[in-house]
Amino acid sequence: MPDQQQLTDKQRLTLGFIQRYIAAHTVPPKLQEIAEGIGISSRGVAHRYVQALVDAGFIKTDSGKHRGIRLLNVNTHNNESILPLLGKIAAGKPIEAIPGEDQIDLRDFFGDNNFAVRVQGDSMIEAGIMDGDTAIIRFCETANDGDIVVALIDETETTLKKFKRSHRGRYIKLIPANKDMEEMVYEASRVRIQGILIGQIRKY
């Protein structure tokens, strides 16, 4: 896997310019535009940087073709927990900027009181929580009606369900999000909350 750290400053700048250019124009830039974009005047130098990025595996070129740069599906990463949030996507116009929101901060997920569990089964599928997803849980022993919680039943059985009190708190309902499954009712003393769902993650 290519490593951005191996690039020189100008090579990194060039790669960033190409990505931004494509995101903005939907077509790749020509060498002249790259040169201007990174603050130089020589097409030859721009070509040298492009070639370095090809060698490093970040892009490929349709040799000779005008605007023949393609981004490859490479995966570079760093240690930050903040992602640029480009906008909304839907059936609609090109990605629409969201006013006042330009990044998503996941630091909430990484607190000391949090942990992750792998979800198994389809009991919450109508809440968009699927088999194999990762649920982010905050350690917590109390919950409000409507929270999705990790509940331990009779000290033996753990499950992820929507939480609801009934009979003034004497009973607790654990409600799946799957019409094929039924909600379960327990005496409050049999149920212990282990944590509340605060997030959900899926990797493809």
Joined tokens for residue 192: 């212990």
Residue 123 annotated among the catalytic residues of the structure: yes
Rounded to 5°, the CA angle 94-100-104 comes to 80
Give strand pairing partners of 163. 174
Residue 161 annotated among the catalytic residues of the structure: yes
Q: Which is nearer to DNA, 42 or 166 (CB)?
A: 42
192 sits near a copy of itself (criterion: CB under 8 A): yes
Q: Look-up: residue for tokens 């909600």?
A: 183
Distance CA 42, CA 114 (A): 52
Q: Which is nearer to DNA, 36 or 105 (CB)?
A: 36
170 and 180 in contact (C-beta within 8 Å)? no
- Could you report how far apart the first and last alpha carbons of the chain are, in Å? 18
Q: Which residue of 136, 172, 175, 191 would you call a contact of a copy of itself, by CB under 8 A?
A: 136
Q: Which does 63 bind (CB under 5 to 8 A by kind): a copy of itself, DNA, none?
A: DNA
Among the listed residues 10, 3, 5, 197, the one whose alpha carbon sits nearest the alpha carbon of residue 109: 197
Distance CA 123, CA 173 (A): 14
Q: Which residues lie closer than 8 Å to 166 by C-beta, 6 or more apart?
A: 172, 173, 185
Q: What is the dihedral angle through the alpha carbons of 41, 45, 47, 48, rounded to the nearest 10 degrees?
A: -160
Q: Which is nearer to DNA, 63 or 78 (CB)?
A: 63
Binding positions for DNA, 38-97, rule CB under 7 A: 38-45, 47-48, 50-51, 61, 63-68
10 sits near DNA (criterion: CB under 7 A): yes
Selecting among 41, 81, 93, 161, the annotated active-site residue is: 161
Q: Which is nearer to DNA, 67 or 164 (CB)?
A: 67
Binding positions for a copy of itself, 144-173, rule CB under 8 A: 147-148, 150, 152, 155-160
Selecting among 10, 60, 81, 123, the annotated active-site residue is: 123
Joined tokens for residue 4: 């951005």
Least spacing, CB of residue 105 vs a copy of itself, in Å: 9
Q: Under the rule (CB under 7 A), what is the footprint of DNA?
A: 8-11, 30-32, 35, 38-45, 47-48, 50-51, 61, 63-68
- Which residues are catalytically annotated? 123, 161
